[in-house]
Amino acid sequence: MTWESRLFDLFDDLEQQAEGLHRVDLDAEVAELARAGYSEVALASRFHASPAHAVEITLTGGAVVRGELGRAGRDWCLVAEAQPTGREVLVSLPAVTAVRGLSTRAVPEAARPLSARLGLGSVLRRVAEEAERVHVVSTDGSRRQGVVQRVGADFFELSSEPGLVVVPFVGLALLRR
């Protein structure tokens, strides 16, 4: 082997080592960017990517909802409870403490339809229009029955025995129809 070919072999080896180190650095940078990007994913984005998934949602106060995930909004989701009840449950996302069954994907807010960007107040106004009797579970675990009357910016009125109760949105864990 000539001096010149040994020199070229050395340069080739150094170049391959440099390329390998560059790829390791690039892989680490891509992994770091992925971690940083995932820090922007909101819980609602995971719910939006999971329609028709069987979920188990644990809420503040200890309530647990099991069923098929339906629609989701900015701060709420609807779950069709498993049989035999088959009731529709409105879940307040701020009251969620744990969830099983969500997709590993996420749908960012910008990619959601306008109807999926509606807040809890919009859904509660619809419930008030229907004037059906509902069961409300608060984040402290207390339960009430009644009819949703008026809905404010961050609360709703529940007509129940012995009288009208004002429930702040932050105090709502779930509402069953």
Residue type, 104: T
Domains delineated in the chain: 43-176 (2.30.30.600)
Is the peptide bond prior to 84 cis by the omega test (within 30 degrees of 0)? Answer: yes
Contacting residues for 159 by C-beta, under 8 A, at least 6 apart: 146, 147, 148, 149
pLDDT band (50, 70, 90) for residue 173: very high
90 or 86, which is more confident: 90
**β-bridge partners, 92:** 76
**What are the tens digits of pLDDT across the range 103-157?**
999 998 888 888 888 999 999 999 999 999 999 999 999 999 999 999 999 999 9
Which residue reads 């509606």 in tokens? 118
pLDDT band (50, 70, 90) for residue 30: low
Is the peptide bond prior to 162 cis by the omega test (within 30 degrees of 0)? Answer: yes
pTM (2 decimals)? 0.79
Contacting residues for 120 by C-beta, under 8 A, at least 6 apart: 73, 74, 75, 76, 92, 169, 172
**What are the tens digits of pLDDT across the range 4-19?**
776 666 667 767 776 7
